[in-house]
Structures are given as structure tokens and as C-alpha cells.
Amino acid sequence: MRLGVADYLLKDDIQRLPHVIARTLEVHEARNAREQAIAELATSQRRLAELAEHLQTSIEHERAAIAREIHDDIGGALTAVRFDVAWIGRHSTDPAMQEHATSAVDMLQHAIGASQRIMMNLRPPILEQGLVAAVQWLATGFERRTGITTRMQSSSETIDIPTDIQLVAYRTAQEALTNISKHAQPSKVDIELSDKEGVLTLEVADNGRGMDSTVRDKPKAFGLKGLQERARTVGGWLDISSRPGKGTSVILSVPLPSPSKSAPGDAQ
């Protein structure tokens, strides 16, 4: 039996031999088919994860490229036109001309502000200012736009982690806040960031209407599913806890790469 014997036949029952052989072959084939199906499923899941990662990376590259173009072409041109119009206004003696120049400068200032806002959304400012500042910026903008009291707490003033993890955390906070403004109707939002114990955690919690577990899997909703895939690309995971009427909490956890391990004795 240790060598794989799974059946036996008594000598006086030998006419059952063909049946036993046929059954053994069937069992064997079924086992092979099952193993093959499991292997194919694993391959297809791996491919799907790779595709999701590739799509996320392409989207980020595309966004960065669009932000660059807005900055170089539109932003630069608007700033130059604003200077010229302001110059015309200053050098004109006609009050009507001055008035038009002033209102054109105001309009241009508005357009410059809008293009900066679009750039900030396309390419998060985290690379320059760090994750804590970037999430704080999201929180402040969210509170201003929605009027919902938004509190942000961080375990330290700066959290120094690899850029790809920063980007995943930033996009998680962004989608969680977008979801809150679309679905939750809360009176307050709490955001917590921590890098304690070698794990980055980001929690975005609201006290809004909540949802039951079937809702988040609805077919045409991709926000939360996308975040789950994103978390996986950096070795992390996403927990969503929510109950109808009891608010929602979205928690991203990512184990951080340990800082370069150099024990005292390693100096030599």
C-alpha cells in the first residue's frame, strides 16, 4: 500500500480483474485531470496578477506623461500669456483696456490653478514631499470639497518607504476617499498611517451608511477590486470591514522591506 496499491483481488474472484483494471485506470485518469486543472488554474491566476500589475504600471506611466505635457505645454504657455496680458494692462492708458486685461489675468490665473490641480491628481506629489504630506494633502482637499470633518494621524512626521509602496498607499487613500464621497454620507472620516513593527498600515474609516459583504463584489465596480490587486503587487493585502449603518473601514497593510541588516559584528 505504501507503494501505491489501492485495491486487491482474491484468486477465486479473478473474473473481476478487467473491472478492477478499468476502475483503476479511471481513478488514475481522474486524478491526472484534477492535477492538470489545478496547475492550469494556478498559471491563469499568476497571469492575471501579472496583467493587473502591468496595467497599473502602464496607467501610472501614462498619467505621469500626461502630467508632464500639461506642465510643459499648457502650464508654460498660460504663464507666459498671463505675463503678457498683465504687461499690456500696465502699459495701457485706456481704462476699459485695463479692466479687460485685469479680468483676463484673473481668468488665466484660474486656468493655471486648474492645470496644477489636474497635474497633482495625475501625478501625486508624494515623490517630492513624502507619503504623510501627500495623504494629508488628500485629506485637506477632501474636507474642503465635501465639508466632512476629516482627521489624519500618523505614527511619525515622515514615513520613509519605497516609492512603489508609497504609490499604492496613496492610491488606496484616494479611492477610499472617493468611495466615501460617492457612497457613505458620513459625518466624519479618520485616516491613520503607521509604519510601526515593520508594516505600513493605512486605515481610512468613515461613520457612514456602511455596506454588506455582497455589495463590494458587484460586477461593474472596480475600485476595491483594483486596490486589492494593487496591494498584492507590493506583497500587501487589503481588509474591508463594514456593516450596514455602522460605517466602513478600509485597511491596507504592507510588510516593509527590513532596513539594511548590518549587525555590529558585520563591520569587518
Ligand X SMILES: Nc1ncnc2c1ncn2[C@@H]1O[C@H](COP(=O)(O)OP(=O)(O)OP(=O)(O)O)[C@@H](O)[C@H]1O
Q: Which of ligand X, Mg ion, none sits in contact with 206, Cβ below 5 to 8 A by type?
A: ligand X
CB of 38 to ligand X, least distance (A): 29
By rule CB under 6 A, what count of residues binds ligand X?
A: 19
Q: Is 124 in the site for ligand X (CB under 6 A)?
A: no
User: Can you read off the three cell numbers belonging to residue 228?
Assistant: 486589492
Q: With CB under 6 A as the contact rule, which of the stretches 65-73, 108-116, 166-174, 220-228 interacts with ligand X?
A: 220-228
CB of 235 to Mg ion, least distance (A): 23
Q: Which of Mg ion, ligand X, none sits in contact with 188, Cβ below 5 to 8 A by type?
A: none
Q: With CB under 6 A as the contact rule, which of the stretches 75-83, 94-102, 128-136, 218-226 interacts with ligand X?
A: 218-226
Q: Is 144 in the site for ligand X (CB under 6 A)?
A: no
Q: Is 221 in the site for ligand X (CB under 6 A)?
A: yes
Q: Is 166 in the site for ligand X (CB under 6 A)?
A: no
Binding mask 177-216 toward ligand X (x if CB under 6 A, else -) reads --xx-xxx---------------------x-xxxx---xx
**Among residues 83, 87, 222, 237, the one that binds ligand X under rule CB under 6 A:** 222
The single-letter code of the amino acid at 71 is: H
Q: How many CB atoms lie within 10 A of CB 230?
A: 22
DSSP notation for the chain:
-TTS------GGGGGGHHHHHHHHHHHHHHHHHHHHHHHHHHHHHHHHHHHHHHHHHHHHHHHHHHHHHIIIIIIHHHHHHHHHHHHHHHH---HHHHHHHHHHHHHHHHHHHHHHHHHHHHS-THHHH-HHHHHHHHHHHHHHHH--EEEEEESSS-----HHHHHHHHHHHHHHHHHIIIII--SEEEEEEE-GGGEEEEEEEE-S----TTGGG-TT--HHHHHHHHHHHTT-EEEEEE-TTS-EEEEEEEEPPPP----GGGG-
DSSP notation for 214-237:
TGGG-TT--HHHHHHHHHHHTT-E
Footprint of Mg ion (CB under 5 A): 179, 223
Q: Give 225 or 232: the residue with its C-beta nearer to ligand X.
A: 225
CB of 222 to Mg ion, least distance (A): 7
**Among residues 89, 229, 248, 252, the one that binds ligand X under rule CB under 6 A:** 248
**Among residues 161, 173, 191, 224, the one that binds ligand X under rule CB under 6 A:** 224
Q: Which residues bind ligand X (CB under 6 A)?
A: 179-180, 182-184, 206, 208-211, 215-216, 218, 221-225, 248
